[in-house]
Amino acid sequence: MADAHKVNHDYHIIDPSPWPFIGSIGALLMAIGGVAYMRWLNDAELSFGSVNLANPWLFYVGLLVVLYTMYAWWADTIKESHAGNHTRVVSMHLRYGMILFIASEVMFFVAWFWAFFDASLYPDEVVQTSRMAYTGGTWPPAGIEVLDPLHLPLFNTIILLLSGTTVTWAHHALIHNERGMLKGMLAITVALGILFSCVQGYEYAVAPFNFKESIYGATFFMATGFHGFHVLVGTIFLLICLFRAMAGHFRPEKHFGFEAAAWYWHFVDVVWLFLFFAIYIWGSWGAPIYAH
């Protein structure tokens, strides 16, 4: 009976999975719910037939469905790996999938950098259709006080660079089967990720500009905010790897789950360096610095 399930070639067909369909339903609920949430925040309606969908709950239901799908789908993937179904070819394709995912994330951030550089390099071409679009022909826009790039942003840069070092150290420890060092360095990386998010949250709380009052604030918060969201996702990714390391899941010769998390974390590091130099330093050059 056991021989009937033995993998004797590099390819395998996985068992039918409900998670792509369920995840798609959750994503659709989140998309519609996000619109409904924003309509609710603005005291407006979103009518579907005779039903007013303007409420926050549809978004949260979709979010819960997506989060549970992620948990269940990844749990099934781990079971496949333990069953020996992740052969050499399958593992190679998992790597290709992660590379393509990170490439799509790169293009996602390209869009936000494009928006920032379009507004900052050509401030005279911004049509004054609203107060938010007004720049006064300068960048940063007239009347904007900026955050000191050598204060909290520099501190967060150091935090992320250190975290990139510790996650690489953890990978080195895993390759050499140093389990204690692996778990210690992973724990430090997770702690640094949490610290980064806390510092950025405080930075947002004291920022002298907000999202909707200027094109500077809109591009600043969209670019840095989405990066902050990716840091949060990467921290959760690494925390799961820490739990798996404590459970003894990774081996020196087979640990793609950890590698994928490390790749993602290094991607987050590199994006932050571009944000730091482009938005915090170059993009705020010459503007009055907000003292807090």
CA 41/CA 292 separation, integer angstroms: 30
Q: Where along the chain do its domains lie?
A: 1-86, 89-292
CA 141/CA 139 separation, integer angstroms: 5
3-state class of 261 per DSSP? Answer: helix
3-state class of 21 per DSSP? Answer: helix
| 8 Å CB contact between 161 and 269 | yes
> 145-184 burial, b if ≥16 CB within 10 A, otherwise e?
ebbebeebbeebbebbeebbebbebbbebbeeebeeebbb
Dihedral (Cα; 114, 214, 274, 99), 10-degree rounding: -60
At residue 269's C-alpha, the angle toward residues 264 and 271, to 5°, is 95
> Mean pLDDT throughout 27-38?
93
More confident residue, 269 or 213: 269
pLDDT tens per residue, range 76-133: 888 888 887 878 888 888 899 999 999 999 999 999 999 999 888 887 665 555 555 5
Task: Identify the pLDDT of residue 1.
Answer: 42
> Token pair for residue 227?
């990066």
CATH topology (fold) of 1-86: Helix Hairpins (1.10.287)
CATH topology (fold) of 89-292: Four Helix Bundle (Hemerythrin (Met), subunit A) (1.20.120)
More confident residue, 183 or 123: 183
More confident residue, 11 or 223: 223
Task: Identify the pLDDT of residue 134.
Answer: 57
| pLDDT tier at 47, thresholds 50, 70, 90 | confident
For helices 256-275 and 152-175, what crossing angle results, to 10°?
160
> Token pair for residue 218?
């809109």
> In whole numbers, what is the pLDDT of the chain averaged over residues?
88
CA 60/CA 186 separation, integer angstroms: 30
CA 67/CA 240 separation, integer angstroms: 14
| 8 Å CB contact between 41 and 81 | no
Asked if omega into 123 is within 30° of 0 (cis), the reply is no
**Which residues share a beta bridge with 52?**
47
CA 39/CA 250 separation, integer angstroms: 46
pLDDT tens per residue, range 154-165: 999 999 999 999
| 8 Å CB contact between 86 and 93 | no
12 φψ region: left (φ > 0), alpha (ψ -120 to 50), beta (else)? beta
More confident residue, 149 or 12: 149
Task: Identify the pLDDT of residue 2.
Answer: 47
DSSP 70-111: HHHHHHHHHHHHHTT---HHHHHHHHHHHHHHHHHHHHHHHH
| Residue 242 pLDDT > 80 | yes
Task: Identify the pLDDT of residue 274.
Answer: 95
pLDDT tens per residue, range 57-81: 999 999 999 999 999 998 988 888 8
What are φ and ψ of residue 86, in 5° steps? -85, 80
pLDDT tens per residue, range 33-44: 999 999 998 888
CA 203/CA 219 separation, integer angstroms: 16
> Mean pLDDT throughout 186-199?
97
Task: Identify the pLDDT of residue 123.
Answer: 74
According to DSSP, the β-strands at 51-52 and 47-48 are: antiparallel
CA 165/CA 183 separation, integer angstroms: 14
Residue that the structure tokens 């590379």 belong to:
99
